Amino acid sequence: MSTIPSEPNQSDKWIKAPDPDLYINPLPVRIWHWLNALGFVVLILSGTQIRYANLFNLMSFETAVRTHNWVAFAVIANYFVWLGFYLFSDKITVYHPELNMKKFFTKAFAQMEYYSFGIFKGAKGPHKVLPYDKFNPLQSITYQIVMLLVVPVQFATGLMMWDIKRFEGAIQMLGGLKVVDTVHVLIYIFFVSFTLVHAYMGALGKTPATHFREMFTGYEEEH
């Protein structure tokens, strides 16, 4: 689909929508994504401050806990923007354009091959981004696990530790505060790595800024 007429100049890219057919990331998704990104950075920083008060001094422990609590609630509220959007719009299909396991694995291996070899040779990505087929199989499976399992578990464990007394029953059921905390920290460790890799992969577009710009404008540029 070569709908982009010619290479638009740098300033045009911000103003003009290159192709109305390639409106990939609608406003709620963009709002959710960037608020979530900001929230995660603050949560990781304040969380690191809480856990390693002896190594960092970005803010006092009290401020760190207070910030962590408030931002966490904002991130939880924001999660429902994402969930609400996908539950109440037909865009939910972006996660499952086709329920075909064979095709899924074939495409997944093609994507892995691309990241391992093709990308270095300047080959085009095997996945073509479309409004109802947004993710490559690797993205699709990763984001589903993260958003439907990892993130909710992180919210739940965090909520329990926000008011230990109120959630005493649940904490005991899960095996004690130490268990709940360990799960929360393990997921934090995962997100430290995830955020870095996610940002790097975001820079693997046509130019390092391409995917970042797409996430602001909502329009896919690479086709």
Interaction site with other proteins (CB under 8 A): 20-21, 23, 26-28, 31, 50-54, 60-62, 65-66, 69, 73, 76-78, 80-81, 84-85, 88-91, 93, 97-98, 115, 119-122, 130-133, 161-166, 172, 175-179, 181-182, 185-186, 188-190, 192-197, 199-200
Give the nearest distance from C-beta 214 to other proteins in angstroms: 16
CB of 144 to other proteins, least distance (A): 18
Amino acid identity, position 172: Q
Compute the least distance from the CB of residue 177 to other proteins, in Å. 5
The CB-based long-range contact list for 9-18 (8 Å cut-off, 24+ gap) reads 13/213, 13/217, 13/221, 14/213, 14/217, 17/217, 17/219, 18/219, 18/221
Dihedral, CA of residue 25, residue 100, residue 152 and residue 54, to nearest 10: -80
Query: Which residue lies nearer to other proteins by CB, 9 or 23?
Result: 23
Q: How many residues are recorded in the chain? A: 223
Question: Which one, 95 or 194, has the nearer CB to other proteins?
Answer: 194
**To the nearest whole angstrom, how small is the minimum distance from the Cβ of residue 57 to other proteins?**
10
With tokens 């230990």, the residue in question is 164
Contact predicate 58/49, CB 8 Å: yes
Nearer to other proteins, 8 or 97 (CB): 97
Q: Which is nearer to other proteins, 10 or 206 (CB)?
A: 206
Alpha helices by DSSP H, listed for 117-176, are 137-145, 151-162, 168-174
Q: How far is the CB of 79 from other proteins (least distance, A)?
A: 9
CA dihedral sign of residues 89, 94, 95, 99: positive
